[in-house]
């Protein structure tokens, strides 16, 4: 199963503080569907411009990206600056 790693603040809001989750999914869409079923509102929380890193590669639009059984997925909040 893939490992999903969340930032602490994001985890507090949406997963009750769980920062490491294991999910059985073969692509990003299935991963999000599973996480939404476990944590209602999770999918909507990603609408704010969050990027995702799958096995170290960052994607802005990962909808069709494959997820392997040993994949590691990180959700990355937008970075502010000026």
Q: Is 66 helix (H, G, I), strand (E, B) or coil?
A: strand
Domains and CATH numbers, the chain: 2-76 (3.10.20.30)
Give the per-residue pLDDT at 59: 86
Give the pLDDT of residue 77: 75
Longest dimension (CA), the chain: 39
pLDDT of residue 81: 58
For residue 2, the model assigns a pLDDT of 96
Residue 21 has, within 13 A of its CA and on its CB side, a CA count of: 27
Question: What does the pLDDT look like over 12-71, one tens digit per residue?
Answer: 988 999 999 999 999 999 999 999 999 999 998 887 777 899 999 998 788 889 999 999
């Amino acid at each position: 199963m893939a490992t999903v790693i969340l930032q602490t603040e994001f985890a507090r809001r949406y997963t009750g503080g769980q920062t490491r989750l294991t999910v059985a999914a073969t692509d990003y869409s299935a991963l999000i569907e599973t996480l939404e079923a476990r944590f209602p509102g999770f999918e909507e929380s990603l609408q704010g411009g969050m990027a995702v890193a799958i096995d170290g590669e960052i994607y802005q639009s990962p909808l069709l990206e494959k997820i392997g059984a040993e994949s590691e997925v990180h959700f990355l909040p937008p970075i502010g600056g000026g």
